[in-house]
Amino acid sequence: MTAPAATVDGFVAEFLQNLNLERGVTLTASSPNDRYVALAYTVRDYLIARWLEDRRHLRETQAKTVCYLSAEYLLGRQLQNNLLATDLTAIATEALAQCGVDLDELRDLEVEPGLGNGGLGRLAACFIDSLATMSVPNIGYGIRYEYGIFRQTFDDGQQSEQPDAWLALGSPWEFPHPEAAQTIGFGGRTESYVDDEGVTRARWVPDWRVRAVPYNYMVPGYHNGRVNTLRLWSAQATDAFDLRIFNSGDYEEAVRAQTYAENISKVLYPEDSTPQGKELRLQQQYFFVSASIADFIDTQLADGADLATLPDKVIFQLNDTHPVIAVPELMRVLVDEKGMTWDAAWDITRQCFAYTCHTLLPEALEVWSVELMGRLLPRHLEIIYRINDEFLAAVRERFGDDEMRIRDMSIIAEFPERSVRMAYLATVAAAKVNGVAELHSQLLREKVLPDFDEFFPGRFINVTNGVTPRRFLRLANPDLSALITEAIGEGWVTDLERLRELEPYADDADFRSAFAQVKAANKRHLSDVLRARDGFEVGEGHMLDVMVKRLHEYKRQMLKLLHIVTTYENIVSGRVAVADVQPRTFLFGAKAAPGYVMAKRIIHLINAVGSVVNADPRVEGRLQVLFPPNYNVTLAERVVPAADLSEQISLAGKEASGTGNMKFALNGALTIGTDDGANVEIRELVGDENFFLFGMAEPEVEALWARGYRPSDFYAADEDLRRSIDLIASGTFSDGDRSVFEPVVSNLLYDDRFMVLADYRSYIDEQAKVDTAYADRDAWTRSAILNVGRCGFFSSDRSMRDYIDRIWHTPLAM
């Protein structure tokens, strides 16, 4: 199998052939979708030969493989990324032009696979990009949700959710493999039996089964010819199950059973505020994890391979607790199916897993009730109990019968109901446990799991997150990329620390001017996109102040909004002359989980403030609030390169890392942020003078809680704050109806869990410094260039190198 010729003629021929043979149309009779699909197939054709070769080689060499287990992959569009990786962009553009086709138009037809909620899913996508680019053997395993993250629309400023039918026209990037399906059991009971050698063993007798059908996606490395695999599982009813019911004459029941089975991969959970009682979610988790482990053992390991050497062949990286049911699953496979002793199996299992924790919020740490676990996965519950018994016995041996400690460390919680703590299970089983930024890892060890840190010295480490420079700089910001390459050559795309070489250019007036022009052009591009998409306009000459991320109270979109309301109130009341405020466009992007009522109210309030401020002539167009709906990876690729100011304003100690913060800094936005997550490391690298720091640090947060935090004291003590909150309460943003935003106001005044009011003054004062700094545009540009030059550390290639060196110990290239 050879790839088509990488020439314009070769590309044209392949494209026309795909139109004819795969779409059954001629160029003249083709629809835009026909042309998009034929183009995608053409790009695929250049990758397939290498892909087959890489997979064959991997099976032959049995090189240690990173199996990344993640319930989410927020991939973004594939076409341009794959053109970039294969270095075919110029050829494709020219080839299509010869056919009278505009590449950019086809690009906009692609519906992005939004198979993730936010940072965690996007991180997984960045990581597999880096692994392919670094030629590291990797399979990403996950779920092929039929519906990804919901499509957000606004109805009178309120969020409404539409299903994301990303597969409505099919996806040209996927390869279904029904012949490689796995059968996954659920429910039933366990029984013991005596095997041929007279040993008493356990086995699981599930009472229903689902077929897991894998779909492969290519993950091309950048300019290295490498193609790794992302393997996502889709649920199908098993034939046997259907047939049995069908033969009994109950057609309706057969259809119902099929629907039930296929529901498992139907929809991505939008990280609901009520994780309990989500039986389907546990089904999803077990479904993809069980299929992935079986798949690796069946298809990657040589026939008859000695399972005792499994730790030399694979490391399963657990992306948060969602895939942690893999731990008892591997034990079940090794003990019940492969006949190993418990101790031998545990010895292997302990070496095959590593766990990444992505949050500290107690409400986000997964637990499953023992009742549910026992009903859905009875054998796994038995295995978890035994793991726990042996672990607690070891704890007693070390620390004595300290019942308090035993209760605190038990994988099984007793209150408020008996349940399995998945983070504890992961910690007990994993060779390494990592947090995702220095501060987060430190808090994880010291505050969340201190007993475990003491018991397992050396197990807890930090690996700071990163983002792929291919998608988030090279692809999203072609003009800045060209400017950088012109200055320092193109090596930075795969060696981001080389951006350091830009530092001297910060003092070069010509470079600064070119840099500022790129930023201005990026704002115009964004404005074009928003005009076409939502009828919005980014004000000419405005500072673009951006806060894009999931809507969560801890991230404090409310604090940003209070700043806007304060500025507005100061203008309309005449205390501040409108000419004295820097013209700013505030841009929000955020989805709220459909069940998260307060988050949805905040979205409503942002839109309401926006309509009033944008329409008020007294503001003279100098303040503008834009909230384009349905923020996603595709829009991020437009917003990130255009931003001047990046808002990273979570309460210290709450944001595990953030990755948007890295994308913005890397594209030359300055950050206003708290000492939280990876902000800490960004500030250390770019320097205090190029970063707007405000707010309490984590120890101060703790201290204020301990003293007793009373938000109303802050309200009483600060006139600006009082006027702003009063303005919201007065009904100014709700046509005089004071009831609409009353819950938001009382939440702030009486139950401000994330200390918005405590950090308000410091935030407002720092924003004044932002205004002053922006007035000196040339100095601002200098800081922006230094941000770019000093953020090479935040490449996901560096994150992957850290995982390889300190956790996986996999070969760097095959």
Catalytic residues: 358, 549-550, 555, 659, 663
- Residue 467, helix vs strand vs coil: strand
Shortest approach of ligand 26V to residue 118 CB, angstroms?
6
- Residue 220, helix vs strand vs coil: strand
Q: Does 146 bind ligand 26V (CB under 6 A)?
A: no
Can you tell me which residue has the tokens 């793991």?
A: 387
- Nearest Cα neighbor of 318 from 123, 70, 85 is 70
Q: How many beta carbons lie within 10 A of that of residue 294, not counting itself?
A: 17
Q: What contacts 22, CB < 8 A, 6 or more positions away?
A: 37, 38, 41
Shortest approach of ligand 26V to residue 480 CB, angstroms?
23
Q: Does 796 bind ligand 26V (CB under 6 A)?
A: no
Separation CA 456–CA 337 (nearest Å)? 30
Q: Does 519 bind ligand 26V (CB under 6 A)?
A: no
Burial of 3 per CB tally in 10 Å (0-12, 13-18, 19+): middle
Q: How many CA atoms lie within 13 A of 786 on its CB side?
A: 20
Q: How many CA atoms lie within 13 A of 137 on its CB side?
A: 25
Residues of the chain by 3-state class (helix, strand, coil), percent to 5: 55, 15, 30
* x-or-dash string of contact with ligand 26V, 218-257, rule CB under 6 A: ----------------------------------------
Separation CA 361–CA 654 (nearest Å)? 7
Q: Does 119 bind ligand 26V (CB under 6 A)?
A: yes
Shortest approach of ligand 26V to residue 136 CB, angstroms?
19
**Of the candidate residues 657, 690, 732, 795, the single one contacting ligand 26V (CB under 6 A):** 657
Q: How many CA atoms lie within 13 A of 605 on its CB side?
A: 29
Q: Which stretch binds ligand 26V (CB under 6 A): 220-228, 657-665, 692-700, 727-735?
A: 657-665
Q: What is the torsional sign of CA 301, 302, 307, 309?
A: negative
Give the tokens for residue 695: 């707010």
Residues 541-570 close enough to bind ligand 26V by CB under 6 A: 552
How far apart, in Å, are the Cα atoms of 783 and each of 276, 500, 511, 643, 777?
46, 14, 13, 14, 10
Q: Does 112 bind ligand 26V (CB under 6 A)?
A: no
Residues 267-286 close enough to bind ligand 26V by CB under 6 A: 271, 273, 275
Give the tokens for residue 725: 């909150």
Q: Which is nearer to ligand 26V, 113 or 677 (CB)?
A: 677
Shortest approach of ligand 26V to residue 116 CB, angstroms?
9
Q: Which stretch binds ligand 26V (CB under 6 A): 131-139, 605-613, 635-643, 654-662?
A: 654-662
**Of the candidate residues 361, 775, 779, 812, the single one contacting ligand 26V (CB under 6 A):** 361
Separation CA 315–CA 300 (nearest Å)? 13
Shortest approach of ligand 26V to residue 278 CB, angstroms?
11
**Of the candidate residues 144, 281, 358, 663, the single one contacting ligand 26V (CB under 6 A):** 358
Shortest approach of ligand 26V to residue 657 CB, angstroms?
4
Q: Which is nearer to ligand 26V, 117 or 570 (CB)?
A: 117
Q: Does 681 bind ligand 26V (CB under 6 A)?
A: no
Q: Does 478 bind ligand 26V (CB under 6 A)?
A: no
Shortest approach of ligand 26V to residue 340 CB, angstroms?
34
**If DSSP states are collapsed to H, E and C, what string results for 656-670?**
CCCCHHHHHHHCCCE
Q: Does 363 bind ligand 26V (CB under 6 A)?
A: yes
Q: Which is nearer to ligand 26V, 118 or 641 (CB)?
A: 118
Shortest approach of ligand 26V to residue 271 CB, angstroms?
4
Asked if 627 and 610 count as a contact pair (C-beta separation under 8 A), the reply is yes
- Residue 519, helix vs strand vs coil: helix
Q: Does 359 bind ligand 26V (CB under 6 A)?
A: yes
Asked if 89 and 11 count as a contact pair (C-beta separation under 8 A), the reply is no
Q: Does 677 bind ligand 26V (CB under 6 A)?
A: yes
Q: Does 653 bind ligand 26V (CB under 6 A)?
A: no
Separation CA 795–CA 787 (nearest Å)? 14
Beta bridge partners of 535: none
Shortest approach of ligand 26V to residue 358 CB, angstroms?
3
- How many binding residues for ligand 26V (CB under 6 A)? 22
Q: Which is nearer to ligand 26V, 388 or 441 (CB)?
A: 441
Q: Which is nearer to ligand 26V, 208 or 554 (CB)?
A: 554
Q: Which is nearer to ligand 26V, 211 or 358 (CB)?
A: 358
Separation CA 230–CA 126 (nearest Å)? 12
**Of the candidate residues 74, 85, 96, 120, the single one contacting ligand 26V (CB under 6 A):** 120
Residues at the interface with ligand 26V (CB under 6 A): 118-120, 123, 271, 273, 275, 320, 358-359, 361, 363-364, 436, 465, 552, 655-659, 677
